[in-house]
Amino acid sequence: MKRRNFVKLGLLFGAGGIIDANAAGAEASVDHSSSHSSVVEADVTALQAQMAAGKLTAVALTERYLERIKAIDKSGPKLNAIIELNPDAIAIARALDVERKTKGARGPLHGIPVLIKDNIATADKMQTTAGSLALVGAKAPRDAFLVTQLRAAGAVILGKTNLSEWANMRSSRSTSGWSGRGGQTKNPYALDRNCSGSSSGSGAAVAASLAAVAVGSETDGSIVSPSSLCGLVGLKPTLGLISRDGIVPISHSQDTAGPMTRTVTDAAILLTALAGEDSRDAATAGTKQHATDYTKFLDKNGLKGARIGVVRNAMSSNMRQQAIVDAALDVLKQQGAVLIDVEVPNMDKYGNTETDVLLYELKADLNSYLAEFGKGSAATSLAAVIEFNQKNRAKEMPYFDQELMVKAQEKGDLSSPEYLAALKNNHQYSRTEGIDQVMKEHQLDALFASTGGPAFITDYVNGDHTIDGFSSPAAVAGYPHITVPAGLFAGLPVGVSFVAGAYAEGTIIKLAYAYEQASKKRSAPKYLAHSLEGIAT
């Protein structure tokens, strides 16, 4: 399957198998002995129950996460997942504690610390830079719509996560998880390895329990890939279910934010809060009739009778990983699913045209965003960003260049025949003659495949090591995609994916939850310096 060359998935094995002593010590120093104070692997439901019972406060919970960030992210293994902390987080938590006592909780996210990717605008003391030094100094005039949603739900915006600069839309030879402002994010399962995607910091942070949940964003693979490589549940929703307003863009045809969590339940809770109709984003116009409380789809028996297409032409090409996929398929069968081997047609017909669409839309969409949100910084247009990077090569381009931005700047406007033809091609082969066709032909509830391979070694010389994966069909179509932990390969997490048609979030959540509850394959990270665990030598 052809993939756009800047969607990052990979497979290489590093040397060693030694637990980093500093990492282990840092973990122990913040993993409190009493059950009610430990946040390691604690989900939203458990934390909310402790707060409802008066055993935990939002302030205490926020402090626990800040302790872990200090011990694990800023020292010890130094994951470098957090690019900036919210200086008002404790004050927000304190106000929410008072509100809980006087008025009761607003809902399941009341007092829960949430991390958001540093391409999501907040009108507070934090910056929104997409990891670029060019955007330092910009003052967001307002919150992104999804931030408004989170605040309304009672969440504590704890901070912002590091990312692949400009969401990996700067160079085809980039190193995922690196930004000029934030440096390199490390994978908590093996510190010399990468988190992939562009939501690298969100993936590493949630895997390491630096927050209960996080919000990532995806154009193609940037939620599901780091989630898979960090042992998480990642949910890329239908295009328009969550507003793109106030998010540094690549492509209005494919961009979306989404949950990155340790459980399907938390993903359903977070998606419920994030989804909503927004007058500033025309793509959300139909959201009101689709958005719902997604926790109602959490059914342990959700696989019984489900017709699932096993996408044989989208599985990982590494045969040693096939044992994990086969085990997952066994779980599906044991839980009553009907499995049908299928091939999604035409996945090789939109690789190049996807790139064309993203380049055209990057120019148009980024210029529009910067006109409103870039004021006060050097980044007032795409051309200005390119110029800034060139003048600041030592800091902004020490490892890779900006050829994708240069190509985007050379494109015409969105009335260009080349752009319109490429967009039509993408939708035809990813939707009508792709996912829609195979699902209708076999009367399927969802498609299933491995999400991708395990984490690759971070490489500043060659850039990311790209392999096969299953992000592009749903990404190009704008359809929902959820990845769930399926086990460890050489000590590194890999996930499996469920994909379905537009607004089928309820269906894939139901299937993913039933699989998760029957398999229980999530494993906490051990902060290994290197990993060859599980490989015969």
Question: What is d(CA 127, CA 133) in angstroms, rounded to the nearest whole number?
Answer: 11
Instruction: Quote the pLDDT of residue 34.
Output: 37
Q: Cβ atoms within 10 A of the Cβ of 535, count?
A: 12
Among 394, 8, 5, smallest CA distance to 177 is for 8
Low-confidence ranges of the chain (pLDDT < 70): 1-37, 467, 531-537
DSSP 77: T
The amino acid at residue 110 is: H
Instruction: Quote the pLDDT of residue 535.
Output: 52
Active site positions, annotated: 117, 198, 222
Among 122, 57, 150, 65, smallest CA distance to 96 is for 57
Pairing of strands 82-85, 113-117: unpaired
The residues facing 114 across adjacent strands are 157, 213
74, 296 in Cβ contact below 8 A? no
Among 190, 193, 234, 230, smallest CA distance to 210 is for 230
pTM: 0.94
DSSP 247: B
CA angle centred on 407, ends 404 and 410, rounded to 5°: 150
Sign of dihedral through CA atoms 209, 211, 212, 217? negative
Tokens 């993913």, located at residue:
512
Pairing of strands 178-179, 307-311: unpaired
What digits encode the pLDDT tens for the residues 59-113?
999 999 999 999 999 999 999 999 999 999 999 999 999 999 999 999 999 999 9
Question: What is d(CA 107, CA 258) in angstroms, rounded to the nearest whole number?
Answer: 19
The correct CATH number of 21-519 out of 3.90.580.10, 3.40.50.970, 3.30.60.50, 3.90.1300.10 is 3.90.1300.10
Instruction: Quote the pLDDT of residue 466.
Output: 72
What digits encode the pLDDT tens for the residues 361-417?
999 999 999 999 999 999 999 999 999 999 999 999 999 999 999 999 999 999 999
DSSP 456: P
Instruction: Quote the pLDDT of residue 533.
Output: 53
Question: What is d(CA 205, CA 194) in angstroms, rounded to the nearest whole number?
Answer: 13
CA angle centred on 238, ends 140 and 285, rounded to 5°: 70
Instruction: Quote the pLDDT of residue 492.
Output: 95
Question: What is d(CA 514, CA 50) in angstroms, rounded to the nearest whole number?
Answer: 25
